Amino acid sequence: MPYSVDSPHPDLNAARPTALVVADVRRRLSGWAALAPVETCQGVQVDPSADRQVRERNLLAVRGAFEAVSAGDAHRQLTHYTDDLVIELPFTSPPVRVEGKAGALDYLARAFEQYRIALTIINVIACEDPDSLVVESSSEGTFVPTGSPYSNVYITVFEFREGRISSQREFFPPA
């Protein structure tokens, strides 16, 4: 069940509710035009129906990737990405940047050995460019080595090319 920014998922870290994470990411990225929702962009003339179709196609790629993550299937996840994809995790220590499907497959396979999670989309923010989306999501699952429960919230900036994810910048509170 999706939750709004003002009503965070009850099982998420109570010390860092979703609204605080979103505010923190927005503060860190202040001034970054790509985060501006379409309705706040002035003077932009677009064909709303064409943009809506592009955004819906792109959101299908995100949903497909999330379903594959929930199944722990890196190969299937990467069918929703371009061959020259870039995945960035700038808030990890050290920051991570993975380029290309081969590098991503290796990285994701190792991640799926550590975490079994189900991802849920909470909110989607349309950007001025219909080939960009900002997705707020949450995860519930297990940290495999210890069997401990794992949950987190994420803000992910997706960029697309021809209906596939070409760039994914994922922001989340590190453990």
Q: Read off the pLDDT of residues 38-49 as tens digits, 9 standing for 90 and up.
A: 443 444 444 567
153 in any annotated domain: yes
Do residues 150 and 117 lie in contact, with contact meaning Cβ atoms separated by under 8 Å? yes
In sequence order, the β-bridge partners of residue 143 are: 115, 148
9 in any annotated domain: no
Q: How confident is the model at residue 1 (pLDDT cuts 50, 70, 90)?
A: very low
Structure tokens that stand for 43 in this block = 């003077």
Q: Residue 154's domain is classified under what CATH number?
A: 3.10.450.50
- pTM, 2 dp: 0.74
CA-closest candidate to residue 74, choices 97, 107, 96: 107
Domain range enclosing 164: 18-28+48-171
Query: What per-residue confidence (pLDDT) applies to 22?
Result: 57
126 in any annotated domain: yes
165 in any annotated domain: yes
Q: Give me the mean pLDDT over the 15-28 stretch.
A: 52
11 in any annotated domain: no
69 in any annotated domain: yes
Total domains present in the chain: 1
Q: Read off the pLDDT of residues 119-146 as tens digits, 9 standing for 90 and up.
A: 999 999 999 999 999 999 999 999 999 9
CA distances from residue 161 to 57, 59, 63, 108, 110 in whole angstroms, order as listed: 11, 12, 16, 21, 26
